Amino acid sequence: MTPPTETPDTPSTPDTAAPAGPRDARSWLREHSEIGVGLLLLALGVLVLTDALTMTVDLTQRGPVGPKTVPVVVGTGLLVVAVLLTLDVLRGGRGEAEGGEDVDLAAPGDWRTVLLLAGVFLANAVLIGPLGFPISGALLFWGSAYALGSRHYDRDPLIAAGLSLLTYFVFNNLLGVPLPGGPLMGVA
């Protein structure tokens, strides 16, 4: 018996290297699509860090922490998560498919809700200047509840007004972030 000879058609080692052709490259990219999320997080992290580190800060206005601290922490966190996610995907990690026990994944998207929410947010952006935050915020909260399916017409406006006034008080008085008061805040 003679040992088998190797023919030019049969490779001596299995092909485990990088993809060879366009079909193989598409297949590899499809199997590692989470790398796109890692790249997006990387870009966001670089953008946030660049913006934070080029920010000019007046030393007389800054407190003990300064306005650069949170963006630097968030940008660094984004970079770390991007690297860890990419490494996990390259090592064979895969995200779990959506189980969605109460979500029908075959159903089409609910564009009516999306458009209603977008309209409510745009209306808030337009109305916050002339009406002030307490009124525009109440419309924002009530409109969002309506867009998401709540139909309690007697209760929702009251809850929305309470949330809006509470938010205005917390930001304006406790946190020192001035929000436009509008015509109602001038009445005393």
- Cβ atoms of 128 and 136 within 8 Å: the answer is yes
**Start-to-end C-alpha separation, the chain:** 107
**Angle at Cα 127 formed by Cα 123 and Cα 133, nearest 5°?**
110
- Predicted local confidence at residue 99, as pLDDT: 64
- Predicted local confidence at residue 100, as pLDDT: 59
What is this structure's pTM? 0.52
CA distances from 22 to 19, 25, 28, 62, 80 (A): 8, 5, 10, 54, 31
How far is it, in rounded angstroms, from Cα 44 to Cα 80? 12
- Predicted local confidence at residue 16, as pLDDT: 47
How far is it, in rounded angstroms, from Cα 66 to Cα 57? 8
- Predicted local confidence at residue 62, as pLDDT: 59
- Predicted local confidence at residue 177, as pLDDT: 85
Mean pLDDT by 10 residues, the chain (188 residues): 53 49 74 87 96 81 74 95 92 73 76 95 95 94 95 95 94 87 71
- Predicted local confidence at residue 134, as pLDDT: 93
